[in-house]
Amino acid sequence: MKLWLAPLLAAAWLTPGAQAEESPPHPMRIVSLNMCVDSILIELVSHDRIAALSHYARDPQRSTIADAARHLPITYETAEEVVALRPDLVLTSRHSAIATRNALKRVGIRFELFGVPNSIEQSLAQVRQVAKLLGAEPEGEALVARIQAALDAARLPSNEQPLTAAVYQPGGLSAGANSVVGELMELTGLRNIAARYGVEQYRPLPLEVLVSSPPDVLLVGETSPGAPMQEEKIVHHRALRALESQMTQAVFPARLLYCAGPTMIPSVATLVQAREEALAAKRARSTQ
């Protein structure tokens, strides 16, 4: 099957420009199929080089670049849409649909896979990797420097005591050890109790654990106003409300949880704000 198609396709793909074989240093039609790569891509290249972002990029609940993405084309992750865009580089996740990746491979479209970074270091390496593929190394270095500056500014001042904290999102989802958000929490002076109770990456934190040792700060998700889902109810569980006097709840929107990269900048800002509020509340309690 493959044999009779190969010459046909080779002929077809070589006609528009022979550069398809040796990867062009400056891809001009870039398609991203992954939300986290979207957020890096949009920072690094001029938007006319972006042939399409993923459809998640427009979802304000999940994406930090929803406003910018509204003016850019998107795909729904089918090979058909990607092929029709004639991209010279496709950036996708290691966990994307296997059939779609195989289809792209067969048609001869170059794609690169990206994993989910488990640490700040891995995430910064990923930013550099994307920048290299795009031929945008200076922009990549600038972005890394910006992220690093934001991280440095967010560190806990040496005269302050660290607080305990946990992420508690709808469904009880938490960020534990080996997660970027967990590492960001430690960096901003919020000791992550979820990691101490054996939560790895992004998994549920048992409510009983949370109630038995309430953290100073509980980073709850943004509950969408109007229709509370069943899963969101757990965030407003009666057991948690009973602890309100002991811990400060701060809003940590779920969209900051999904991606690292440039998203770390608003993430640490939110964490710092939560820390400052909790410290103020603690001081107010102790003076009472």
Partner 1 sequence: MTSRRWAMPALLALVVVLAILSVAVGRVTLTWDMWKAQDPVSRAILIELRLPRAILGVLVGASLGLAGAAMQGYLRNALAEPGTLGVSAMAALGAVLSIFFNIAGLHPWVLPICGVIGGMTGMAALFALSGMTASVLSLVLSGIILSALAVAGISLALSLSPSPWAATEIVRWMLGGLTDRSFDELTIATPLIVVGCIAVLGCRRSLDALTLGETGARSLGIDLNRAQWQLALGIGLIVGGSTAVTGMIGFVGLIVPHLMRPLVGSRPGALLVPSAIAGAALVLAGDIVVRLLPGGSELQLGVVMSLVGAPFFFVLLHSMRRKLT
Beta bridge partners, 217, equal 165, 248
| Structure-token match 């943004």, residue found | 222
Q: Does 105 bind partner 1 (CB under 8 A)?
A: yes
Q: Does 28 bind partner 1 (CB under 8 A)?
A: no
Q: Does 70 bind partner 1 (CB under 8 A)?
A: no
How many residues of this chain interact with partner 1, rule: CB under 8 A? Answer: 38
Residue 37 · residue 93 · CB < 8 Å: yes
> Measured between alpha carbons, how far is 125 from 219 in angstroms, rounded to an integer?
27
Q: Does 201 bind partner 1 (CB under 8 A)?
A: yes
Reported residue count of the chain is 288
Min separation Cβ 253 and partner 1, Å: 17
Please give the helix or strand (H or E) that residue 100 lies within, else none.
helix 98-107
> Measured between alpha carbons, how far is 143 from 216 in angstroms, rounded to an integer?
33
Q: Does 13 bind partner 1 (CB under 8 A)?
A: yes
| Structure-token match 């779920």, residue found | 254
Residue closer to partner 1, measured from CB, 77 or 139: 77
CB atoms within 10 A of CB 221: 22
Q: Does 81 bind partner 1 (CB under 8 A)?
A: yes
Q: Does 55 bind partner 1 (CB under 8 A)?
A: yes
- The one-letter code for the residue type at 129 is Q
Q: Does 207 bind partner 1 (CB under 8 A)?
A: no
Residue 35 · residue 66 · CB < 8 Å: no
Min separation Cβ 193 and partner 1, Å: 20
Min separation Cβ 121 and partner 1, Å: 18
Q: Does 238 bind partner 1 (CB under 8 A)?
A: no
Q: Does 129 bind partner 1 (CB under 8 A)?
A: no
Residues that bind partner 1 (CB under 8 A): 1-2, 5, 8-9, 12-13, 15-16, 55, 76-81, 83-84, 86, 93-103, 105-107, 113, 116, 201-203
